[in-house]
Amino acid sequence: MNQAAVRSEYIKSLGKGLSVLIAINEMGPARISTLVKTTSLPKPTLIRIVNTLVAEGFVVKQRGQESGSGYTATSKVRRLSSAFSQGSLLAQVAQSQLNDLCEIIKWPSEILIPDGLSMVIEVGNRHVSPITLKYFEQQRFPIISSASGRAYLWGLPSRDQQNIIAAAADLSENDENFGTSYSQIESAIEEVGLKGYCFQDYEAPIAGTRAYAVPLMQNNRSIGALTMPSLRDVLSLVEFEESILPKLKEAADNLSKELALHG
């Protein structure tokens, strides 16, 4: 089919809708004002598209003290990319190790990998974990304000790390919920090196939710993060550092070695 024919069959509204869904996937929770800037769509058009995505179950309005209000993608979006993730080497190698890990630490755990300016869940053990938590609807988290994102950023070369931080901060510069400075982000990432992990608190989907993360390394460079959600009133920082952290680090190290064996 030639280019002219392709253009004649092009559905503009679908193209606009996909651009909005991609933007929400990247930034969620994203405010309408931020989406207008990112997509360059008129505000009335954007609102109609967002309302349609909400009605179809791809997007949900989210409110929370940590993340602020905005629209975020639901797990339904993962169906659009399932063909790319189901057979990944990382998922195949990690699944059995994650299943073994939850038998030891009891809490569920997941591996998140970077996708644009977000971290996305690649594989996890929710289905076999002895401890069941009400989970976030979204499968993607902002790279600079999530535990998994900061753990991942720590293991990157300095230039790559700075480029991602600058891009994410620039994207959020007009978002009133973005109150974290460049220096604060850098300090949080440096702390990963000092402590060997980082954490992020959330008030949704359960008040008091806390996500811990350690870097997942390969060839001296991070490729993602191993995360463990918990409840801060149930598992204290001291308890985590003494009983859970060594096991998370060991699992991340073993997974890195196994990935190296698979090339």
**Per residue in 80-117, pLDDT tens?**
765 554 557 788 888 888 989 988 999 999 999 998 88
Predicted confidence at residue 263, as pLDDT, reads: 61
The CATH number of the domain holding residue 191 is: 3.30.450.40
How many structural domains comprise the chain?
2
Domain final position from 43, 73, 103: 73
My answer on whether 99 and 221 are in the same domain is yes
Angstrom distances, CA of residue 227 to CA of 97, 101, 111, 224, 251: 13, 12, 6, 10, 11
My answer on whether 206 and 102 are in the same domain is yes
My answer on whether 205 and 162 are in the same domain is yes
Whether residue 203 has pLDDT greater than 90: no
236 pLDDT band, cuts 50/70/90, is: very high
Burial call 199-216: b when 16+ CB within 10 Å, e when fewer: bbebeeeeeebbbbbbbb
From the list 151, 169, 171, 167, the residue with the least C-alpha distance to 159 is 167
Domain final position from 53, 73, 93: 73
Predicted confidence at residue 38, as pLDDT, reads: 84
User: What is the mean pLDDT of the segment spanning 25-41?
Assistant: 84
My answer on whether 135 and 244 are in the same domain is yes
My answer on whether 87 and 182 are in the same domain is yes
Q: What is the pTM of this model?
A: 0.69
Q: Which residue range is the domain that position 65 belongs to?
A: 3-73
From the list 24, 198, 184, 18, the residue with the least C-alpha distance to 116 is 24
My answer on whether 201 and 131 are in the same domain is yes
Predicted confidence at residue 15, as pLDDT, reads: 87
